Amino acid sequence: MNEPIATHHDEAKASSAAAHRNSSSRQWRSLWRVHFYSGMFALPFIVLMAITGLVILYTDPIQQLTEGDVRSVSASSAEFVSFDQQAEAVQAEYPDGTVLDLTPPADRGSSTQFFVDDGSESGVHAFVDPYTGEVLGDSEPGGGVIGLSNRLHGYLNNDAVTIDLPAVAALWDGDAVMREYVVGDLILEILGVWTLVLIGSGMYLFWPRRSRQSQGSKGARRLFAVRWGAGGRARWRDLHGLAGFVMIPVMILTIVSGMGWSTYWAENFNSLAEELTPGDPAENTASTTVTRGDLDRFGNQIPWATGDFVIPASYAPEASDGSMPAPISLDRMVQVAEDEGMKPGYTISFPANEVDEAGNPVYGSFTLYNSWPRTTGEARDVFIDQFTGAKLDEQKVYGSGPIYVGMDYMVSTHMGTQLGLFSRIFMTLLCVLSIWSVVSAFTMFWKRRRPGTLGLPRRPVDARFTWKVAVAAVALGVVFPQWAVVALLVVGFDKFVIRRVPRLRHTFGQA
């Protein structure tokens, strides 16, 4: 009497298990296709970012190798020639140019660097022997392999092509809705998000799928094991997945922090960060009204009765003879920078004087700033009165507010500077492992590719994703709306074009 009931129960249980396996298979194959599609977008991006990133990481040694004749000098115990004299030598070398900033030697074996606006698009860096005042030569900012790598890394070496797009920040900042963005930069942003999708889907596919009874420490060990004896795709899959799994945290940090330089996302992020966690940014003001007593910082002897005498200030009128007030010397500015504790390799940006609408002169300030490489804690902009050397204001950590500061920490890590040599080594390994992941991915693809197809797993007719995957996709689309548009186009192409064109259906593995 009970046998038919038991048989029916077993059949129902087996049917339920089969349905579960079929559903899991559909979800797994669907996600595999997502992984493949994202790889088509992301792999060229990963190779480009890894190669150019390696060059940028080692900018200093590359510059010494290629431009050592102008960047380095024979160390000496002699005193430096006056920085004002060095600036005059540069001005004489470029009579039609304007010297805009000065980078004193970082050590006794380095040359002095000046930036000159010579009328060209990029200007030039001129290098001077600080012991003799001789102009050694120049280099073009953004030139050579380092400049090319930075341009490719930042905007595909093309910032001339732009597009107007609606800005999300318009919802809260009150500015124009349609804004201009660099197309090359926008492409890199979208490819960067596809890399995040590649990482997430790859982690799911690589994670061992084991029954509850077999889970535990053995499963954890299998995650990091390589089946050396298996050969073929199995071994390549383990090598590919293991490299990808190891670099996941650093890869995510690198991609997200890299967005801080982007055209579209960064503008919206920075605006939202300022909206949520506003700070108190310094203002690069013109020189304020000060007195002669402020000159005491140079050790000058100020007559007791003249300490309160006002010297030329922000909107000071010209002297009776029509002359302009004289700024302090560059040597004194270097002394100010040393007093302020600026990091060796800092730059002094010269003041820009203007005339207001009423025709009165407005005198700008010197700006001291720590140049790359630097950590977040070393990010400083110090504004100095050009007539007295008085400190007007200071900005620590570019930007303002806790969110922006947190992003700067990630950016400094991205640049390989925040943790010193450790982060440099870590980022180097990331670049190398990224290139290896692409090589192994292509090898796996080639080994499994069916003739006449792209090697994709067959697409289930009823493709489905779990609610967790759907929520993750929606969240990613909200944070990166520019990617969401492209993702919808890809989904539409897969669903409405590939399924309806026989040749495409075969090529893309449509079941």
- 423-465 confidence digits (pLDDT tens): 889 899 999 999 999 998 888 877 777 766 666 666 666 666 7
Query: According to the model, what pLDDT value does residue 195 have?
Result: 96
- Phi-psi region at 3: left, alpha or beta (left = phi > 0; alpha = psi -120 to 50): alpha
C-alpha 401: how far from chain center: 19
Average pLDDT over residues 341-355: 87
With a cut of 60, say whether residue 15 has pLDDT above it: no
The model's confidence at residue 222, banded by pLDDT at 50, 70 and 90, is low
Tell me what percent of the residues of the chain surpass a pLDDT of 90: 40
**For residue 60, how many other CB atoms are within 10 A of its CB?**
13
Report the pLDDT value the prediction gives residue 99, as an integer from 0 to 100. Answer: 93
Give pTM, 2 decimals.
0.83
Task: Please tell me the distance from the alpha carbon of residue 269 to that of residue 260, in angstroms, as a whole number.
Answer: 8
Classify 262 in phi/psi space as left (phi over 0), alpha (psi -120 to 50) or beta.
Answer: beta
Extract the tokens encoding 240: 């590919």
pLDDT at 292: 44
Residue 418, pLDDT > 70, answer yes
| pLDDT for position 11 | 57
- Between CA 396 and CA 121 the distance in angstroms is 30
Q: What is the pLDDT of residue 219?
A: 45
Quick check: 351 pLDDT over 80? yes
The CATH 3.10.450 domain(s) of the chain lie at: 82-151
For residue 455, the 8-state DSSP code is: -
Task: Please tell me the predicted confidence (pLDDT) of residue 270.
Answer: 85
What string of DSSP letters covers 110-178? B-EEEEEE-SSSS-EEEEE-TTT--EEEEE-TT-HHHHHHHHHHHHTT--S-EEEEE-TTHHHH-S-SE
Give residue 83's pLDDT.
97
| Of the candidate ranges 283-297, 300-314, 330-344, 476-490, the one whose mean pLDDT is the lowest | 300-314
Per-residue pLDDT band at 81 (split at 50, 70, 90): very high
The pLDDT of residue 202 is 86
Mean per-residue pLDDT, 60-81: 93
Confidence (pLDDT) at 311: 33
Structure confidence at residue 468 (pLDDT): 82
Q: What is the reported pLDDT for 419?
A: 87
Question: How wide is the angle at C-alpha 288 spanned by C-alphas 285 and 293, nearest 5°?
Answer: 140
Using the predicted structure, report yes or no on whether residue 362 has a pLDDT greater than 50.
yes
- Higher-confidence position of 290 and 369: 369
Pick the residue with more confidence: 321 or 382?
382
Give the mean pLDDT of 295-324.
Answer: 44
Let me know: does 102 contact 139? Beta carbons within 8 Å.
no
Model confidence at 390, in pLDDT bands (50, 70, 90)?
Answer: confident
Closest CA to 473 of 82, 108, 193, 93: 193
What's the confidence (pLDDT) of residue 430? 93
For residues 153 and 49, the answer to whether their CB atoms sit within 8 Å is: yes
pLDDT, residue 485, reads 94
Kindly state the average pLDDT of the residues 106-118.
95
Q: What is the pLDDT of residue 487?
A: 93
The answer to whether 374 and 240 have CB atoms below 8 angstroms apart is no
Q: Which residue has the higher pLDDT, 510 or 357?
A: 357
Whether 8 has a pLDDT exceeding 70, the answer reads no
Average pLDDT across the chain, whole number: 81
Average pLDDT over residues 485-497: 89
- pLDDT average, residue stretch 63-74: 94
Residue 489 in this model has a pLDDT that exceeds 90: yes
pLDDT at 388: 81
Average pLDDT rounded to a whole number, residues 133-139:
96
What pLDDT does residue 320 have?
A: 56
**What pLDDT is stored for residue 23 in this prediction?**
61
User: Is pLDDT at 310 greater than 50 in this prediction?
Assistant: no
Question: Do 331 and 325 contact (CB within 8 A), yes or no?
Answer: no
Strands 98-103 and 347-349: antiparallel
Top-tier CATH class for 82-151 = alpha beta
Query: Does the pLDDT value for residue 352 go beyond 60?
Result: yes
Residue 363 pLDDT greater than 60, yes or no = yes
Write out pLDDT tens, residues 235-263. 777 778 888 888 888 899 999 999 988 88
Q: What average pLDDT does this structure show over 468-493? A: 91
> pLDDT tens for residues 176-213?
999 999 999 999 999 999 999 999 988 888 776 654 43
